[in-house]
């Protein structure tokens, strides 16, 4: 599996996603600093929500081989600027999280539209909490081996 860096807003599910992928017990803990796992980098949501941290994201991305832009299906605002994924010059994917909490198809479509605007083509729809869509995501990440 390529080393992947997760970027998304506060509370969008990045840490839970990491916990599910590596098989840890799911427990909420606010990510206060960048957390490095053997094949993942979990970034605090503040890094995307405050432009002054963009340089830190770019510095952390040096360690990654792939970027994942993560969006909670219930988010209504555009967190990522247009073509944000291209800032890293690495392969990127989009991950829509918390699909078990989506109230209708429009929420999923809007989340997908936001990620496409941010510059990703491949998008996964998952619920790390309920384990929906995680096998497909894991399979994709495991196939993306150098």
- Stated pTM of the model: 0.91
pLDDT in tens, 46-73: 888 888 888 888 888 888 999 999 999 9
pLDDT of residue 145: 46
**Stretch 19-45: mean pLDDT:** 81
Give the 3-state secondary structure of residue 14: helix
H helices of 23-146, where? 46-49, 54-61, 105-117, 134-143
Q: CA 120 to CA 65: how far, in whole Å?
A: 15
Write out pLDDT tens, residues 86-136. 999 999 999 999 999 999 999 999 999 999 999 999 999 999 989 999 999
Summary mean pLDDT of the chain: 89
**What is residue 44's three-state secondary structure?**
coil
How does DSSP classify residue 71?
A: E
All domains in the chain, ordered by first residue: 4-143 (3.40.50.300)
- Band of the pLDDT at 30, cuts 50, 70, 90? low
**3-class DSSP state of 41:** strand
């Amino acid at each position: 599996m390529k080393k992947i860096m997760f970027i998304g807003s506060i509370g969008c599910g990045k840490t839970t996603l990491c916990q599910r992928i590596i098989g840890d017990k799911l427990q909420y803990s606010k990510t206060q600093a960048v957390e490095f796992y053997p094949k993942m980098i979990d970034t605090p949501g503040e890094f995307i929500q405050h432009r002054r941290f963009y340089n830190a994201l770019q510095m952390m991305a040096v360690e990654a081989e792939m970027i994942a832009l993560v969006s909670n299906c219930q988010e209504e605002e555009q967190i990522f600027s247009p073509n944000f994924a291209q800032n890293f010059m690495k392969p990127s994917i989009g991950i829509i999280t918390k699909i078990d909490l989506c109230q209708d198809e429009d929420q999923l479509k809007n989340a997908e539209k936001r990620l496409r605007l941010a510059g990703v083509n491949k998008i996964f729809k998952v619920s790390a909490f309920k384990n929906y869509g995680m096998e497909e995501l894991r399979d994709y990440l495991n196939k993306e081996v150098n």
